[in-house]
Chains A and B, each alone.
Chain A
């Protein structure tokens, strides 16, 4: 793999901040916290789904109900992310089952995401290398809206699915996946598209709107909230490989931490991705003062991005270098 130097450097920088013995205290795996968080979130989703059910006879109120339900659904990205690291549970099959469930519901190919996300951890905030770089500078209001609306997300994720299903991977994505594992990614995409096709065919056959109103529409209209949380992770932080500053640790309340599975401690997560989500608060207490605790909540960070880190309304086109003239 072409990432060896970057990885070695990342570990060296990690050790400058926290030694192995200290880190070890936080890396133990448990099932209970993940099960509580996951079934807690699932309960919220069932509850918001019930509100959608009630509102089907209330006319226009169906739409805010679907929005609320969609916001709940969008938080399944948090367990998807944590299980992609394999740190959510001690029992592996529980981890993988929830990874797949969340991947299918949120329309993220889970195995490919695992590779892509490994690339993000190696190259976080490095333009041209980080596969998940959110709104690199110079960023504009239009690009912010495009990102938060999640239009880019659907283009990207369905792009992955359709390309991988026909046995092709974009060269940029290809660098993160070893040859011997390509078949898994292609099979995964085919399975996911088969599931979605079955849902569409089933809905038509049984003449039901259930898939649309309980999943598809809420997912599309609710996901911008999860996108806004992701903007706060890195956007506006220095675009250089500095573990101290390339992510933010956001100050937020217990309920938000529950929904984002403690990813508000994003600096600590990047410092040591082997630390499970339920130990990030303790890791923050140990090393947080060396990281980038911004002392602001998600809304304040969003405002900061909008007011300080955008460079205008429209995207700035990159200047094209003129061809060198022959003398």
Chain B
């Protein structure tokens, strides 16, 4: 899978520490996280119930789905506990001039 160019996702100030915000990039729903001072990005849709993870709860480096409380690691995308079992896709991020950029992957 090839990677695309860096794309602006969100202003860093919009994402509070231990929080998540939604961003639409090239028609994709992406969740942008801030945890322990770093930014992370994953697909926004939960692999279990199709809920938006950006409406979920960040606890440390874990995102918890708002619907059924399935949990994913926001660094690796690994599914951590039931009812989720499939990992969530993650994307590279970088912080530049107060903005968060995400590099999506070619389909």
Task: Report if A and B associate in a common complex.
Answer: yes
Q: Show the binding face of A for B, using Cβ within 8 Å.
A: 1, 3-4, 7-8, 10-11, 20, 23-24, 27-29, 85-87, 90, 92, 111, 114-115, 118, 121-122, 176-178, 180-181, 184, 272-274
B86 touches A7 (CB 8 A): no
Bound together, the chains give a CA A7 to CA B55 distance in angstroms of 13
Q: Report B46-85 CB contacts with A as 1/0, cut-off 8 Å.
A: 0011111001110100101011111100000000011101
B85 touches A181 (CB 8 A): yes
B85 touches A180 (CB 8 A): yes
Count of A-B residue pairs with CB < 8 Å: 72
B57 touches A29 (CB 8 A): yes
Bound together, the chains give a CA A56 to CA B56 distance in angstroms of 51
Residue of B nearest to A90 (CB): B59
CB distance from A278 to the nearest CB of B (A): 14
Q: Show the binding face of B for A, using Cβ within 8 Å.
A: 19, 48-52, 55-57, 59, 62, 64, 66-71, 81-83, 85-86
Q: Specify the main secondary structure of chain A where it touches its partner.
A: helix
Tell whether A86 pairs with B67 under 8 Å between CB atoms, given A7-B50, A7-B51, A180-B85. no
B57 touches A274 (CB 8 A): yes
A176 touches B56 (CB 8 A): no
Bound together, the chains give a CA A121 to CA B67 distance in angstroms of 8
B64 cross-chain contacts in A, Cβ below 8 A: 86, 274
16 additional A-B pairs beyond A27-B57, A118-B48, A178-B48, beta carbons within 8 Å, are A1-B48, A4-B50, A7-B49, A8-B50, A11-B66, A86-B69, A92-B59, A118-B68, A118-B82, A121-B67, A122-B49, A122-B67, A176-B83, A178-B83, A178-B85, A273-B67
CB distance from A215 to the nearest CB of B (A): 27
Tell whether A11 pairs with B57 under 8 Å between CB atoms, given A176-B83, A273-B68. no
Residue of B nearest to A275 (CB): B57
Bound together, the chains give a CA A11 to CA B70 distance in angstroms of 15
CB-contact partner of A10 in B62, B67, B70, under 8 A: B67
Q: List 15 A-B contacts (CB under 8 A).
A: A1-B49, A7-B49, A11-B51, A20-B55, A28-B57, A86-B64, A86-B81, A115-B83, A118-B49, A118-B82, A121-B67, A177-B83, A180-B85, A274-B56, A274-B66
